[in-house]
Amino acid sequence: MTPARSNLLKIVAAVALLALAGLQTWRWLSQGSGVSESAYFYDLSEGKLFVAQRGLIPPIRGINDSTEDGVRAVVVSTNGQPEAASTRVIAYLEMYAPELKQQLQSAQAAGTPPEISRTAAQSLRLVKRPQDSGWVSLATPEGERIVGEWVHWGTDSAPPVICTP
């Protein structure tokens, strides 16, 4: 092999490696932060899931009218594959009592932390299963049971995972 041909092969290999590194860097940068700016919500009167901005404080306006009957829905995949829509189920629904919602909205508008203790806020977070008739405080044994029971819904080979839109 001539020295000129050897140098040419080195240059071609260097350019190919540089192109591969550039492609990998572009793919990494285009993936984003992994944090979804959207969240699942559930319209209580329609009985349907919908997607809205993650930072909204439920209850929010639902999908069918101006009634604030849209609550946050925690959706999980029971086989560890959130991209498979057939395995998604609603684990529980969540909303805030009116006094907590008002405090959170005021704090959000002012860009300050809410003026409520974490313990008081937990007692004003309300949860329920989609089929339940009433809401319970997260700060009760029943509330804790509701938000924790989905972790046992997986299979032996794949644990359940929370899904984002």
* pTM assigned to the model: 0.76
Regarding predicted confidence, which is higher, 42 or 31? Answer: 42
Residue 22 has pLDDT above 70, yes or no: no
Nearest to 72 by CA among 82, 57, 85, 83: 57
Are 135 and 59 within 8 A, CB to CB? no
Six-digit token string for 145? 């049971």
Strand partners, 12: none
Q: Give the tens place of pLDDT for each residue, 78-119.
A: 888 888 888 899 999 999 999 999 999 999 999 999 989 999
Checking DSSP bridges between strand 88-96 and strand 161-162, what pairing results, if any?
Answer: unpaired
CA angle (149, 140, 87) in 5-degree steps: 20
Q: Is the model's pLDDT at 68 over the cut of 90?
A: yes
| Separation of alpha carbons 163 and 144, rounded Å | 20
The pLDDT tens digits of the residues spanning 115-161 come to 899 999 999 999 999 999 999 999 999 999 999 999 888 777 788 99
